[in-house]
Structure 1
Amino acid sequence: MTSPATIRAVDVLVASPSRNFVTLRVTTDDGVVGLGDATLNGRELAVASYLRDHVAPLLIGLDAHRIEDTWQLLYRSAYWRRGPVTMSVIAAVDMALWDIKARLAGMPLYQLLGGASREGALVYAHASGADLDELGDSIRGRLAEGHRAVRLQVAVPGMGAMYGVGAATAGRYAYEPAKRAGLSVEEGWDSARYLRYLPSVFEWARAEFGAEVMLLHDAHHRLTPIQAARLGRDLEPYDLFWLEDCTPAENPESLRLVRRNTVTPLAIGEVMNSMEDFRLLIQEQLIDYVRASVTHAGGITGLRRIFDFAAQYQIKSGSHGPTDISPVGMAAALHLDLAIHNFGIQEYMEHQPLAGEVFRTSYRFERGMLHPGDAPGLGVEYDEAAAARFPYTPAYLPAARLVDGTVHDW
């Protein structure tokens, strides 16, 4: 006997309204629809194929209410565990099932996760510039919008194109690293120049904007552990909210050296996707914020496990939220942000207007915070007719090379 929540259709929707997104749509026998985000920037079609060719057939006929059982089925039965493709697939299914459950309950999802623990989720915006004048204009734009926390990225003199430096405008932050082309573009990198210059940027920012604005920075995996330790120490006088991805964390033991040498708070994890990735970092309290995303870490179920584990060590959440997390993924993150106790901050990059034509959202921004809204489920609707106007376009993230031509961490 089937239940009203028996899954009868699973659709994988790929569209590119300003950038590529992979959306999973799960429909029950009673016509209730749940959405999940499966976007993996630069590798979108790998996830779409996994969902369409290997997972969708498994879901037909299952009870959509059995979220935990389905999560474990997809994680354990495939034999090949973890990794960004697998965990993004599981995340999309998990989000869609939670969306269905909350829609059937007639509640916003955060109510099923235990209810609200706060009035809204503090977010940080992005500011950047080719020089300090442009960066200052960008920061002022973010503050005028009501933001209280801002990530600063600025070009280093003599280095050319830089990670995180978007359009020179006080309006919408427009940075899209994935170029719409068949090959990756290349950018240069010089750690010595960066390490010499960056502390002066934050000295200027504190003098210009005062002590109350929360300032963040992303080193984007570019530094060795000893370089990261030096940068963290050099930035201590400027009271950063966090220093993000100061060194690649595939070797988590390397963070011991960083932690011993600086008290600047550390945020790590946007390329991580499982509890196993975080275990040592959390148990040894080598980080202060977990940067994983709901889209890449097994969905609401997977990411909440990581956050609950982190809470035992006084480590807070800091979910990844760039524009390659679709509005579906952002909504899911906000429901989790509102519910958990150890929330820290949420990254917030506004999607381009074209994305808003495909994804109709209910979340709202006010006083430096986002709230997911009170529509049933995740609060996102997908306009398939609008999406048809934006077909998939190949796009790849850049590659970074050192001065001598060696490929470096991007």
Structure 2
Amino acid sequence: MKPSHIARIDIYVLQDDKPAAVRASFGTFTQRTTLLVKVQDQYGHGGWGEIWSGYPAFGAYHRAAMLERLIGPSALGRTLEDIPALQDEWETALLPMLRLAGEPGPIAQVLAGLDCALWDLAARAQGVPLYQLLGGQSRPLRAYASGVAPKLAPEQLDQLRAQGFHAFKFKAGFPEDSALDDLERTVALLADGEIAMIDANCGWSPEQAHQAHDRIRSLSLQWTEEPIGCERSPAEWRALRAASAHPFAGGENLLNLQAFRDAFEWLDVIQPDLGKWGGVSRVLPLAREVMARGLRYCPHAFGSNIGLGLAAHVLCAAGGDGLLEMDANPNPLRALSGAFIALQDGYLTPSDRPGIGVDPDEQGMGEYLRQHLIVTHAA
């Protein structure tokens, strides 16, 4: 059999105009989009990836156009013999756009999602789960509910528990002091064996972050995520980390390997997003380097079940005690992206189905499908 090569690329933009409100320090989601990419080989095998398009929602269309017009045509006919080399090649080819348009983020995101789809395709073509192709094995992964508001009624917390969650990441980084009061009351509701962490979404200035960490010093937290922005100086990060009683987490907004390595100095938990930078080709080696340095790898995932499935398989392959992030907010786009394994008493164990084991319903996307682009050779 000839080596698999890329024969067709399908790009799906899904949009929900009436999402459940999710307030973060940078704003409230009034729309949600999901950008999925499917790559098929000449034998009809298909692999899926997710290209980050979290905020603003209209960014999904720009990234879709980049894949359709810039990267997709040059990808057709390429074999899967060396997937990491393809990402390196395409990144080099896009240097003019990076220089002239100044868009390292969108470029990294499109290449990352495409890379993930190629790895899923390669695993499906060989009939093995992705974690096996990557040298790992299936195992129970402790998962946590992400995107949880700091003010949570007991019955709302019980609803999350009923979904199988026993770990929770609460939103933080808000300017009002009452948000920290809400956080303290909510964390006090947790039962023995349940754990909490907070995500400030870069919402505090260094001064505000110092004040907030003084307020929450007594709280039992796994980590504080992105208390300040990744653009802040190393000196500001070092000073804040030295004054904090909790480990620091971050990485979803870093866009090159050196930035991650620099952040090893002040981050205890490293959180690359597979659809935002690096894809499988770069995130898995990074995860292994993270753990070799005695740090913790916990993939960022706040989108569709495609992204969740990829994060779970790479976490299985990487090993370690990292936690799996799961968006706990209602999201119809997540259901349209395909079903994934359900939580069981706080843990998720990927199946042994080929690839990531997630298959979107391409015919059932209905009103949420706003754009479907196809890249293939002309008949």
Classify the TM-score, shorter chain.
0.7 to 0.9
CA–CA distance in 1 between the matches of 2:150 and 2:86? 48
TM-score if structure 2 supplies the norm length? 0.83
| Shift in Å, 1:343 | 4.1
Q: 1:23 is paired with a residue of what secondary structure?
A: strand
Task: Select which of 160, 166, 170 maps to 1:148.
Answer: 166
Task: Select which of 185, 208, 212 maps to 1:227.
Answer: 208
TM-score if structure 1 supplies the norm length? 0.77
Task: Select which of 104, 108, 113 maps to 2:134.
Answer: 113
- 1:186 aligns with none
CA–CA distance in 1 between the matches of 2:40 and 2:187? 51
Q: 2:343 is paired with a residue of what secondary structure?
A: strand
- 1:34 aligns with 47
Is 1:308 matched up with 2:288?
yes
**1:271-309 CA distances to partner (integer Å, 9 max, x unpaired)?**
223213222111x2x011112211101211122233223
Q: How does 1:155-174 map to 2 (within 5 A)?
A: none
Letter in 2 for 1:223: W
- 1:345 aligns with 323
Question: Do the aligned partners of residues 9 and 287 (structure 1) sit closer, same or farther apart at CA in structure 2, a change above 3 Å counting?
Answer: same
**1:57-86 CA distances to partner (integer Å, 9 max, x unpaired)?**
111111023212212111223225682211
Would the aligned equivalents of 1:129 and 1:153 in 2 still touch at CA under 8 Å?
Answer: yes
- 2:15 aligns with 16
| Shift in Å, 1:251 | 2.3
Letter in 1 for 2:300: H
Task: Select which of 339, 342, 364 maps to 1:361.
Answer: 339
Q: How does 1:67-146 map to 2 (within 5 A)?
A: 67-79=83-95, 83-116=104-137, 119-126=139-146, 128=148, 131=151, 134-146=152-164
Task: Select which of 369, 372, 391 maps to 2:369.
Answer: 391
**1:184-211 CA distances to partner (integer Å, 9 max, x unpaired)?**
xxxxx6x3x32xx455445434543345
Question: Do the aligned partners of residues 145 and 384 (structure 1) sit closer, same or farther apart at CA in structure 2, a change above 3 Å counting?
Answer: closer
Q: CA RMSD in A?
A: 2.6
Question: Do the aligned partners of residues 76 and 262 (structure 1) sit closer, same or farther apart at CA in structure 2, a change above 3 Å counting?
Answer: same
Q: 1:392 is paired with a residue of what secondary structure?
A: strand
**1:225-272 CA distances to partner (integer Å, 9 max, x unpaired)?**
232233224323121111111111212412101111112111112222
| Shift in Å, 1:336 | 0.7
**1:359-403 CA distances to partner (integer Å, 9 max, x unpaired)?**
22343311211222221011121322212432339xxxxxxxxxx
Question: Do the aligned partners of residues 207 and 252 (structure 1) sit closer, same or farther apart at CA in structure 2, a change above 3 Å counting?
Answer: same
Q: 1:364 is paired with a residue of what secondary structure?
A: coil
- 2:374 aligns with none
Letter in 1 for 2:130: L
Would the aligned equivalents of 1:127 and 1:138 in 2 still touch at CA under 8 Å?
Answer: no
CA–CA distance in 2 between the matches of 1:209 and 1:384? 40
Among all aligned residue pairs of Structure 1 and Structure 2, give the percentage whose two residues are the same amino acid: 22
Q: 2:254 is paired with a residue of what secondary structure?
A: coil
| Shift in Å, 1:330 | 1.2
CA–CA distance in 2 between the matches of 1:243 and 1:382? 34
The ranges of structure 1 where at least 4 consecutive aligned residues each deviate by more than 6 angstroms after the TM superposition are none
Report how many residues are paired. 348
Is 1:214 matched up with 2:214?
no
Question: Do the aligned partners of residues 252 and 214 (structure 1) sit closer, same or farther apart at CA in structure 2, a change above 3 Å counting?
Answer: farther
Structure 1 unmatched ranges of 5 or more:
155-162, 164-188, 394-410
